[in-house]
Amino acid sequence: MNSQYINPLLAATVNVLTTMAMVEVTIGKPCLKDGPDSLGDITSVIDLKGDNHHGSLAISFTKEAILNIAENMLGESFSEVDETIADVVGEITNMITGNAKQLYSETGLEFDLATPTTNIGKNIPVAHTVTGATLLIPFETKAGAFYIEVCFN
């Protein structure tokens, strides 16, 4: 997969979580994803569609990671992954893809963004909007892991 598609998403993810949630993130080693199921406890998927490019991004958080991120963003404590947390994950997805869209446009790539869909639960199939190989990028925070999945055709 072309780094032209991946690097803006990585930069946007680090930027959003560092600035909006005051969470330090470490990027792990990317690999091809094996199987369709989500790796976290809550997952959001968004379509990235341009005239000549079409992609899909999923972000999947472990319970520990997203509860810490939500606490930092909203200033209140959470104990369960619920609809409030689903709203936070949807907003994080919007912020990351919005930030990445700006970075993409600087390189001449233009994408329209859809509304993300968010599912609560572990091992739920991730419904990417394009077919092909899916790149999995693990991230670590002090509280736990989360994962970005990217698929472009």
pLDDT value at residue 31: 96
pLDDT value at residue 36: 94
pLDDT value at residue 109: 84
Domain ranges within the chain, ordered by starting residue? 3-152
Grouped pLDDT means (10 residues each) for the chain, 153 residues = 81 96 96 95 94 90 98 96 97 95 87 92 93 94 97 87
pLDDT value at residue 1: 53
The dihedral over CA atoms of 15, 64, 148, 124, expressed in degrees to the nearest 10, equals -150
Backbone phi and psi for residue 140, each to the nearest 5 degrees, phi listed first: -125, 140
pLDDT value at residue 16: 97
Q: What is the rounded distance in angstroms from the CA atom of residue 83 to the CA atom of residue 28? A: 29
Quick one: CATH architecture of 3-152? 3-Layer(aba) Sandwich (3.40)
pLDDT value at residue 142: 96
